[in-house]
Amino acid sequence: MLETAVQNKVNQWLTGSYDADTKTAIQTLLDAGNATELTDSFYKDLEFGTGGLRGLIGIGSNRMNQYTVGAATQGLANYLNQVFVGEPISVAIAYDSRMKSDEFAQIIADIFSANGIEVYLFDALRPTPELSFAIRLLGCKSGVVVTASHNPKEYNGYKAYWTDGSQIVAPHDKNVIDEVNKIQSIDAIRFVGNPAKIHAVGAEIDAQYIAQILSLSISKAAIERQKDLKIVYTPLHGTGITLVPTLLQSMGFENVTLITEQAEPNGNGQFPTVVYPNPEESEAMNMAVNKAKEIGADLVLGTDPDADRVGIAVRNHHGEIQLLNGNQTATLLIYYLLQAWKESGKLAGKEFVCKTIVTTDLIDKMAASYGVSCYNTLTGFKYIAQVIRELEGKEQFIGGGEESYGYLIGDAVRDKDAIASCGMIAELTAYAKDKGLSLFDMLMEIYKQFGFYYEGLISLTKKGKTGADEIQQMMADFRANPPQSLAGSEVVKIDDYKSLKRTQNGVVSDIAAGEMGIESSNVLQFFTADGTKFTCRPSGTEPKIKFYVGVVAQLANNEDFDATYDNLKAKVKAIGEELKLK
């Protein structure tokens, strides 16, 4: 038996101007009595989260299909025409290698053009960061990239961008959704495009994007001396293949091995060699890691399907290839940028780096030692972009990142950029090798100087409406009964970003609303006397609740690394067991 609201939505789709195939699929589910699938497909409308619109491909208001994509685009088009009255309006559109990405991109282009908006549509798949770059380069008012980033193959998504090349933030995000919600019938969606307003773009944008990344290079002499650095790269069947090999070659790296089995984007978005096309997953990186072992490589790079995230592997102090997590890579990148800027005399006292509140606090500590500000934002690169925007002309952005394998160097792009990150990671590897160090050696030196910070992530998947309700209940329980201690250390501060209240030593104060990158969000953080940080956050793009556990210890020498590392990992595990996170 379907809930009334779900049944009403199903009836709307069965009687509305939807295509015959869609209606047949819905009726088949009804005839089979598949209430669970119908409920999950229709119990809500897809909403903009930290990464925009994202969901399973299929029929229904809670699925990615031509109608949900169409409604989102019509709402965005309506809003653009309201905001920029009397101004020329243009948008850029890109897409990745997923199922229906090219179809959705064409639908989006048609709808924008039907609403009188000029469209710059990439002629083939391209990375998400290049879309951000193109918006700024072409002077567009908005942009869309069709991608579900690193989600499983059954998903697709829709990331919407604003004039500065960043993902849409408040108040525009809420206003766009209001416009989408006003569309009560698909008859209000202008599906029939105006070809005269749709313009193909491609190689000319690629060239300018690559040139911009090359301008970020700091250690050209080190690259020249280490040009035979052995690098293995995999695009995981995604868009990275279009630019990463070209960039590395242009930078001067002459010994790059491509994982050919994963080089070509798979036309139907099946990602045939991986279960989950996510460089955060060790399984996805197996082919590249094995090749690195075979040829004695110094560095492994792997990008996700839309090339906004990058995972890396390096040789550890035992000579073994080891995957680094997002916090470790962010630490190395930011340390290198700070050090290289200092050595180049580029630090003038007005520079800053930026990260999210769930990313390692080691970055804050490093930045402070260089006299560089470090700003913390909510999760989502749109908030980092907001800080860059608000400080433009006042302070100089060096770089930033988040623990989920997303990094940004320079401000020409306003989203995480795996293309530029691959180039800069290769450069910092050459810089380290030029000094007789591996990246792992450099990481240990950082730990000895600033403290050994380790962060663990516990991610629980809770699918469908039942899962969503369970996630909300877990957050409610943590608010009603917060832990008093973690691993034996007293909780001395609680930050609740939903209420924007901080409780410290029994005193309640405000977390300043309106701070750059900070707004009300369903996030809880607990801080203990020994430096442990525990964060609870429902994902904005996946049916998950995530728990981030950060711990810290001192590292006196390299010989103590393994024991200290084991102790920190054991502490994170103990906290998870203590809180019954399962």
Task: Identify the bridge partners of residue 233 per DSSP, sorted by sequence position.
Answer: 258, 301
Task: Identify the bridge partners of residue 144 per DSSP, sorted by sequence position.
Answer: 93, 160
Q: How many CA atoms within 13 Å lie on the side-chain side of 134?
A: 28
Residue 97's CB is within 10 A of a number of other CB atoms, namely 25
Strands ordered across the beta sheet of 373-377: 373-377, 351-356, 396-402, 406-409
Residues 344, 222: Cα–Cα separation, whole Å: 13
Residues 53, 50: Cα–Cα separation, whole Å: 9
Give the DSSP H or E segment for 17: none
Structure tokens at 443: 């990481």
The candidate with the shortest Cα–Cα distance to 170, out of 383, 312, 324, 340, is: 383
Residue 159's CB is within 10 A of a number of other CB atoms, namely 27
The candidate with the shortest Cα–Cα distance to 400, out of 433, 344, 351, is: 351
Residues 380, 170: Cα–Cα separation, whole Å: 13
The candidate with the shortest Cα–Cα distance to 398, out of 406, 390, 389, 408, is: 408
The answer to whether the CB of 128 falls within 8 A of the CB of 415 is yes
Which residues make Cβ contacts (< 8 Å) with residue 410, sequence separation at least 6? 212, 216, 397, 399, 420
Residue 559's CB is within 10 A of a number of other CB atoms, namely 9
For CA atoms 62, 68, 71, 73, give the dihedral sign: positive
Residues 578, 88: Cα–Cα separation, whole Å: 58
The candidate with the shortest Cα–Cα distance to 94, out of 65, 121, 118, 55, is: 121
Among the options 149, 219, 404, 438, which is catalytic?
149
| Opening angle at CA 88, ends 85 and 91, nearest 5 | 105
The answer to whether the CB of 386 falls within 8 A of the CB of 173 is no
Q: Is 149 a catalytic residue?
A: yes
Give the DSSP H or E segment for 159: strand 155-161
Task: Identify the bridge partners of residue 460 per DSSP, sorted by sequence position.
Answer: 545
Distances (CA, A) of 238 to 89, 243, 261: 30, 11, 12
Q: How many residues does the chain have?
A: 582
Q: Point out the residues that are catalytic.
A: 149
